[in-house]
Amino acid sequence: MSELAEWGSFYVIVGSAAGALIGLQFVVVTLIAERPPLRAAEAGAAFATPTIVYFGTALLLSALLHAPWQAITPATALWGLMGLGGVAYVVIVARRMRVQTTYKPEFEDWLFHALLPLAAYALLALSAFAALFHTREALFGVGAAALLLLFIGIHNAWDSVAYHVFVNMRDTNTEQRRQSDRDETSPKERP
C-alpha cells in the first residue's frame, strides 16, 4: 500500500512521542498522588484521563497506519470507528467537566479538553469517508488529527502539572502556614 508507506516515518515519530508522553504522564500522576486534593478522582475523570486517551489514540493511530495492510479499506474502517468513538468520548468528557465541582473550567479548558479533541476526532471520522475517493488527502486529515491529539495531550499534561504545582501546592503551603500560626498563638501546656 504505497499511500501508507509514504507516511511511515511520520507515524514512527508521532507514535514514539505519544508512547513516551504516556509514560511521563504516569510518572507525574504518581508524584502528584502523594498529596491528592479533595475530589481528585472526580477531576481526574474530567481532566487527567482524557489526556491519556488522546496520547493513546495518537499511539494507536500510529500503529494502525504503520501496519502492512494489503488495502486501505480495513485501516479506513478502523480509523473511522476511532473517530466516531472519540466524538462520543469527548461528549462524555464535556459532561464530566460540567458536573465536577473541584475546579471551574475556563475557556481554555473547554477549548483543549472538548472543542479541539472534538475537531480532531471529527476530522478522523470524516477522513475515513473521504478516503474512499481521495485517499491521499484523507491521509493528511488522519495525520493532522493524530498530531492535533498529540499537541492537545502535551498542552493538557503541562496544564495539569502547572495547576498542581502552582495552585495545589500554594493552597497546601497556605494551610500549613495557617496551622503553624495557630500552633504558635495557642496557649502552651505547662508541664
Tens of pLDDT, residue by residue over 3-32, are: 666 666 766 777 677 777 777 666 666 666
- Identify the band that residue 188 occupies on the pLDDT scale cut at 50, 70 and 90: low
DSSP 146-185: HHHHHHHHHHHHHHHHHHIIIIIHHHHHHHHHHHHHHHHH
Question: For residue 58, what pLDDT is reported?
Answer: 87
Asked if residue 140 has pLDDT above 80, the reply is yes
Reported pTM: 0.76
Q: Enumerate the H helices of 33-115 as residue ranges.
A: 40-43, 49-66, 73-99, 107-110
- Identify the band that residue 142 occupies on the pLDDT scale cut at 50, 70 and 90: very high
Question: For residue 190, what pLDDT is reported?
Answer: 46
93-105 pLDDT, tens digit each: 999 999 888 778 8
Question: For residue 14, what pLDDT is reported?
Answer: 72
- Identify the band that residue 159 occupies on the pLDDT scale cut at 50, 70 and 90: confident
105-136 pLDDT, tens digit each: 899 999 999 999 999 999 999 999 999 899 88
Q: What is the mean pLDDT of residues 38-44?
A: 61
Place of cell 500554594: 170
**In this structure, which amino acid lies at residue 109?**
D
